[in-house]
Structure 1
Amino acid sequence: MPNRDIFANISPLDHRYARNEAQFTELEKYLSENATIKYQAQVELALVKVLAKRGIAPAKSVAEVEAAIASLTTAEVYAEESKTRHNIRALVNCIQAKVSPATRPYIHFTATSYDIVDTANSLRYQKATQNLILPYLKKLQQSWAQISLREKDQIQIGRTHGQHAVPVTFGFTMAEYVSRLGERIETISVQAEKLIGKFAGAVGAYNASSIFFEDPEEFEAEVLAELGLKPGEHSTQIIAAEPLTDFLHSLVSTFSVLAAFADDMRQLQRSEIAEIGEYFAAEQVGSSTMPHKRNPINYENVKSLWKAFMPRMITVYLDQLSEHQRDLTNSASSRFIPELITALISAAARLTKVSSRMVVDRENLAKNFAQNKQMIVAEPLYILLAAHGHPDAHEAVRKLTLKAQKTDLSLEELVEETTELRDYWQQFSQKQQQLILKPEKYTGIAAQKTEKIVKRWQQKFNYDLKLEG
């Protein structure tokens, strides 16, 4: 197969989003077509190893097959497939051509194509999870955890429905995503371990292997054990769809967490909010026509990638359906699964880079908080009034907020000039009064909760973080 100019490739994942050489090299090990052939060949090798252990294949067969697949190229297999019109038969033919006549009969012995295909896919997705997906996501989560600790006491106005609510801290805002991503990381790890293989033959009933083995299920387990996999309880010509479906769902739902974070951070960069910013290189351009623009391109890119790949989960659900013991309606669609993994890793890498350079504008955080700091104490005021026996505290405070909006008076000042409410005010303790007089203190346990969340994930994932405060 000829080498191609990367910019001649059709997929943007190749020529734009995953073109970093080091990252591409990592991805290629598990997600490329070369990797597909490599892992399929490893399954064929596992079969020969068990046949040799059982004294069926010659002892020398293992070394012969190892040497054969070491020299095997994807180009060879594709050239053979152009003749056979069958990819696994082509793989088998290429391996057989490189071994002795005594070994040839035991390549693919009692197997069907999807014993090889499905098992190889489960194996490479497990390896990709352990060596790519989890490390990239943990690195991202660690960058968020560091920001959370650093900003755990930084006041920020909370927002619900796009409106100012009650105060939080920016560290607390970040801790949400530390927690959500941490839970997704654990789910991905669990679901990857549940990926299964099969060696049960053409319809899953062990028809061929039962000719030679009194214990075909044990034989299956032995072959899969060579690869570090387990069989499912039942398979047809293909493995049961649900383990892969659940694994891919864990990836897509993780992608959604990344997209939610990106969208939140993008909104906080709006000109009228401007609480955070992306690092902007000296020669970076934000607009082709407006030189002053500094666009949140990285966050927008992640959200855009998510929009492209999130709907692919529908195809995964459709692939759960296969007529009777097997049809081919997932053979093309399942080949695009590596693209989903690649896009997720690309998004995680991009967010890690931009998060490590996040600029927090404390002046704008304070300015935005100050816009409504006299109004946001409506919640503690109404709760304290109710706690001190006011019969309709919520309505009383609602009317005060309407009055405050029409005047320059604060809620505290309006309480002082309202005889009925002033009597209640005087019953408040000094600490309770301070919640009304100093709205910046009304952050609940945001800082403590932030630190608690970060400590939890630091311990789980062994982060090297310095706890502040």
Structure 2
Amino acid sequence: MAGHVIDSDLFGNSYSTPQMREVFSSRGVVQSWIDVESALARAQADLGLVPREAAEDITERGVVDDFDLAALGEGIEATSHTLMPFLRRYQELCSEEHRGYLHWGATTQDIVDTGAALRTRRALEILAEDLAAVREQLRRLAEEHAETVMPGRTHGQHALPITFGYKAATWLAEVDRHRQRLAELRPRVLVGNLNGAVGTMAFVGEVGLEVQARALDDLGLAVPEICWHSSRDRVAEMAGWLAMAGTTLGRIGREIYQLQKTEFGELEEAFTEGKVGSSTMPQKRNPAISESIVAKAMILKAQAQLGYDAMMQEHERDKALWQTEWEFLPEMFMLMGGIAADSRKVLGQLVVNGDRMRQNIGLTGGLIMAESIMLKLAEVVGRHRAHDLVYEIAMGCAETGTPFADALKADATVSSVLGEDAIEEHLDPLRYTGLAAQMARAVAGAPPS
């Protein structure tokens, strides 16, 4: 029985993906613990701390299907200990001669943290693949629509003409920055920890550092410069990246949602046969996936605060705060997995209505071109006087509904300075998108991060 929406048979795939849920499933957790214990035993065997036969036995007997997950859960509840039920079952699986060498010199947090690093690595591989696909989709949109003119909006109002390719390029650049951040943080967060009870390696002594280095190299994880049981900046950094990257995709989803409104009609999620917008209004074509992206992004970014709270550990270890990581970090990854997969789906089939974008530019009767007219006037009458002139004309148009072109031509000063041909020329939105197309193509042509 699922008690969380991510695991719900009804709603689970609206919040995450089967692939990401598997990484953080009970089976995935136990497999990561097995991997760490096995690597630790092999490293210790290499250095003569445990018999080679014991390491081989521990490795061979570590089969996740031989662990009853429900029984482990009951054991954790009964013992109030995270790892002991797992260790007891693992010992049962090993030969009597070798079982005493399992978990030699390690502490629970060593296994749990290092296992979490393995799961984080797999989760980041999934996200990297989805973000690479999102990047390519944004690159294509920026390139294909570099000259597709649309209204630029500030404060929710028409401002100046831009191009949709320019808008997509701003999204692309932001996603690229997150991909660059991910590349930079991987060496800092994909780090194991095999230091023993308080991190001093007192149990194994002089060879402790070499044991840790060999085991973590075996697992493909970086070696910490010192124990980080109570230094949780790595976790906070990971949570912060997930929140930032997810919020960027949430922003894109929200913009698609906004621009699909009936009154805008500039973008649309691809409509597929069988998709239903309403149980009572048959005509509805809702941006349902974009809405879901926004919802998940809001939950995701709210979780990031716990990453910073978890840094305030007491002494050398503190389960009160450490335990919060077991909930919020997997949840953040699973939400981000859903956000990235949904973004990939929406952007890959996004419908761009260039005709409606061009039509919407005319909604203000030409007022979107006020700056263009003002700057041309300023060449003759100065910027401040030009601003005042165009302001008065524009405010009058807003009140009366008079087309901007007509009002400009009717004004003695404007008509005498510019003339009708120049007025018409400088009211053409295609001539006033600045470097939008150039910027869009430049970003689209930039090599991926």
Q: Same fold (TM over 0.5)?
A: yes
Alignment of 1:399 onto 2:389 = no
Pair 266,408 (structure 1): closer, same or farther in 2 beyond 3 Å? closer
Deviation at 1:206, TM superposition (A): 2.3
SS at match of 2:150: strand
After superposition, residues 359-374 of structure 1 pair within 5 angstroms as 359-372=351-364, 374=366
Q: Structure 1 pair 420/18, CA: closer, same or farther in 2 (3 Å)?
A: same
Alignment partner of 1:256 is 2:251: no
Matches within 5 A, 1:155-234: 155-195=149-189, 196-210=191-205, 214-234=206-226
Q: Is the 8 A contact 2:163 2:436 kept in 1?
A: yes
1:321 alignment partner, SS class = coil
Please state whether the residue corresponding to 1:164 is helix, strand or coil. strand
Contact 1:200 1:209 in 2 (8 A): no
Determine the structure 1 residue equivalent to 2:443: 453
Q: Secondary structure at the match of 2:198?
A: coil
Equivalents in 1 of 2:227, 2:49: separation in Å? Answer: 25
1:327 to partner: Cα distance: 1.8
Quote the offset at 1:17 in angstroms.
4.6
In structure 1, what is the Cα distance between the partners aligned to 2:77 and 2:151?
A: 63
Please, which moves more after superposition, 378-387 or 413-422?
413-422
- Name the CA distance, whole Å, in 2 between partners of 1:347 and 1:391: 47
Q: Could you say if the C-alpha distance between residues 283 and 116 of structure 1 is closer, same or farther in structure 2, counting changes exceeding 3 Å?
A: closer
- Structure 1 residue 289: deviation in Å? 2.1
Does the C-alpha gap of structure 1 residues 434 and 197 become closer, same or farther in structure 2, counting only changes over 3 Å? Answer: farther
Q: Distance in 2 between matches of 1:255 and 1:102?
A: 50
CA RMSD between the two structures = 2.7
Task: Indicate how the Cα distance of structure 1 residues 219 and 409 shifts in structure 2: closer, same or farther if over 3 A, else same.
Answer: same
Question: What does 1:69-88 correspond to in 2, within 5 Å?
Answer: 69-70=62-63, 72-75=66-69, 77-78=72-73, 81=76, 84-88=79-83
Mapped contact 2:230–2:317 kept (Cα < 8 A): no
From 322, 346, 350, give the equivalent of 2:338.
Answer: 346
Answer 1 or 2: higher relative contact order, Cα 8 Å, separation at least 6.
2
Q: 1:107 — aligned with what? A: 102
Q: Does 1:148 align with 2:142?
A: yes
Given candidates 308, 311, 317, the residue that maps to 1:320 is: 311
For the structure 1 residues 419 and 325, does the alpha-carbon distance in structure 2 shift closer, same or farther, using more than 3 Å as the test? same
Query: How much does 1:29 deviate?
Result: 4.5
CA positional deviation for 1:77: 3.9
**Identical residues among aligned pairs (%):** 24
Cα deviation digits, residues 301-360 of structure 1 (max 9, x gap): 111122223211122221112211122213442222222211111122122222222222
* Letter of the structure 2 residue corresponding to residue 395 of structure 1: D
Separation of aligned partners in 2, 1:284 and 1:128: 30
What is the count of residue pairs matched by the alignment? 442
Which AA in structure 2 matches 1:204? Answer: G
Determine if the alignment matches structure 1 residue 381 to structure 2 residue 373.
Answer: yes
Runs of 4+ in 1 over 6 A off after TM superposition: none
Contact 2:230–2:315 (Cα < 8 Å) also in 1? no
Work out which of the residue numbers 122, 130, 134 in structure 2 matches 1:136: 130
Q: Give the distance between the partners of 1:17 and 1:446, measured in 2 at CA.
A: 41
2:342 & 2:181 partners in 1: Cα distance?
Answer: 22
Q: Given the superposition, is the C-alpha separation of residues 385 and 215 from structure 1 closer, same or farther in structure 2, using an over 3 Å criterion?
A: farther
- What runs of 5+ residues in structure 1 fail to find an aligned partner? 1-7, 462-469
Give 5+ residue unaligned stretches, structure 2.
none
- Aligned mate of 1:41, from 26, 34, 39: 34
Equivalence for 1:358: 350
Aligned equivalents of 1:307, 1:143: Cα separation in 2: 23
Q: Are 2:196 and 2:203, in contact at CA under 8 Å, matched by a contact in 1?
A: yes
- Does the CA-based 8 Å contact 2:40-2:212 persist in structure 1? no
Q: Deviations over 1:96-118 (max 9, x none)?
A: 22223443232111111101111
* Equivalent position of 2:117 in the other structure: 122
Aligned to 1:287, the other structure's residue is in SS state coil
The structure whose residues are more often helix, as a share, is 2
User: TM-score of the superposition, structure 1-length normalised?
Assistant: 0.86
Distance 2:106 2:210 in 1: 15
Are the equivalent residues in 2 in contact too, given 1:17–1:346 (CA < 8 A)? no
Quote the Cα distance in structure 2 between the aligned partners of 1:400 and 1:165. Answer: 16
User: What displacement does 1:390 show?
Assistant: 1.3
CA distance change for structure 1 residues 317 and 391 in 2, over 3 Å: closer, same or farther? closer
Corresponding residue of 1:3 = none
Q: Distance in 2 between the 1:373 and 1:443 partners?
A: 18
User: Taking structure 2 as the reference length, what is the TM-score of the superposition?
Assistant: 0.89
Q: Name the aligned partner's letter for residue 2 of structure 2.
A: N
| SS of structure 2 residue aligned to 1:158 | strand
In 2 relative to 1, CA 418–322 (structure 1 residues): closer, same or farther, beyond 3 Å? Answer: same
- Counterpart AA for 2:123: A
The residue identity in structure 1 corresponding to 2:282 is P
